[in-house]
Amino acid sequence: MAGGMIFLLGLVWGSFSNVCIYRLPRDESLWWPSSHCPACGAPIPWWGNIPLLSYVLLGGRCRGCRARISLRYPLVELLSGVLFLGVYLRCGWHWSTAAYLVFVALLVPVIFIDLEHQIIPDRFSLGGIGLGFLAAFAGLLPLSWSDSLAGALAGGGSLWLIAEGYYRFTGREGMGGGDVKLLAMIGAFLGWQSLLPVVLVSSAVGAVAGLALMAVGGRGRHYAIPFGPFLAFAALLYLYWGRELVRAYLGWIGAGG
Ligand SMILES: [Zn+2]
């Protein structure tokens, strides 16, 4: 029952995230005007804004101009619902659930804005650093405020050093400031203990995805792959299965026994 409510809450947040994903990078207001079709500008009636259901009812097309509605809309809503439910299944009815829901809620728009526009809005990342630290300070997270502070500083600092070193060495910008602030936010919510696993996993997955893209698209092409979604993916993995994964890894390299 509670899980169903949390899932619904996630769907609604996903719906709002869709507005953020479309409007924030275009410098449009989040609150005005109300939702409209990007193709013909026709306003979307209230029943066209029901998460998941509307997409199915409309058959994935605008009622006015029959333009295709991006599959991203229901996908973001479903992902958001599943991630919210995941937090509840992991933490149950607990203070930390509220704090982690905020964390997950911030990551959803960040992933898709970065994928499409290669930017991470400060209001999510910097806002997230503050909220993560406050949550730890208020005792909502299984984390001391000093672990949270150390996570934010070490997360931002280490990635900043890597980005700066890469820039000095190659003269090219490899990583944006948005990634630096995102890892600082992850450190603030998950503590400094999460940083090494998160960086290792995101780099490995990112490298595999990059190689796969090159294999598909030909070696000559240069792809700008945003790193933020990989950081977010690794952070979510750590949030849901971190303890099990670290234990399995230690067992695997023989340090656990
Ligand atoms: Zn339309």
pLDDT in tens, 212-239: 888 887 655 555 678 999 999 999 999 9
Tokens for 21, please give them.
């994903």
Residues sharing a CB contact under 8 Å with residue 209, sequence separation 6 or more, in sequence order: 225, 230
Determine how many CB atoms are found less than 10 A away from the CB of residue 54.
20
Q: How far is the centre of ligand 1, averaged over its atoms, from the C-alpha of 53 (Å)? A: 18
| CA distances for 24 relative to 101, 123, 170, 228, angstroms | 21, 10, 32, 17
Query: Strand, coil or helix: what is 8?
Result: helix
| Assigned token pair, 234 | 């690794």
For the residues of 51-114, what is the DSSP string, one character each?
A: TTHHHHHTTTB-TTT-PBPPTHHHHHHHHHHHHHHHHHHHH-SSHHHHHHHHHHHHHHHHHHHH
Question: What was the pLDDT predicted at 210?
Answer: 84
> Of 191, 80, 91, nearest to 133 (Cα)?
191
CA gyration radius, the chain: 20
Q: How confident is the model at residue 38 (pLDDT cuts 50, 70, 90)?
A: confident
Q: What is the pLDDT of residues 98-117, one digit of tens each?
A: 999 999 999 999 999 999 99
Whole-number Å distance, alpha carbon 29 to ligand 1 midpoint, is: 20
Q: Report the predicted TM-score, pTM, of the whole model to 2 decimal places.
A: 0.90
Rounded distance from Cα 23 to ligand 1 centre (Å): 17
The predicted pLDDT at position 46 comes to: 78
Q: Exposed, middle or buried, 134 (CB in 10 Å: 0-12/13-18/19+)?
A: middle
User: Which tokens hold the place of 7?
Assistant: 């899932």
pLDDT over 90, % of the chain: 61
What is the chain's mean pLDDT, rounded? 90
Cα 154 to middle of ligand 1, angstroms:
47
pLDDT at 170: 83
- Residue 25, token pair as written in the block: 């990078």
**Gap from CA of 130 to ligand 1 centroid (Å):** 39
Instruction: Read off the pLDDT of each residue in 169-194 and give the average, rounded to a whole number.
Output: 90
Token pair belonging to 191 = 């503590």
> What pLDDT does residue 177 have?
85
What distance in angstroms lies between residue 67's CA and the mean position of ligand 1's atoms? 5
Q: Any idea which residue has 């300070």 for tokens?
A: 137
**pLDDT for the residue numbered 255:** 64
Whole-number Å distance between alpha carbons of 251 and 253: 6
Question: In terms of pLDDT, which residue wins out, 17 or 30?
Answer: 17
Kindly report, residue by residue over 84-99, the tens digit of the pLDDT: 999 999 999 899 999 9
Q: How far apart are CA 174 and CA 224, in angstroms?
A: 9
Distance 64 CA to ligand 1 centre (A): 5
Ligand 1 center to residue 48 CA distance, Å? 12
Please report the sign of the dihedral spanned by the C-alpha atoms of residue 21, residue 27, residue 28, residue 30. positive
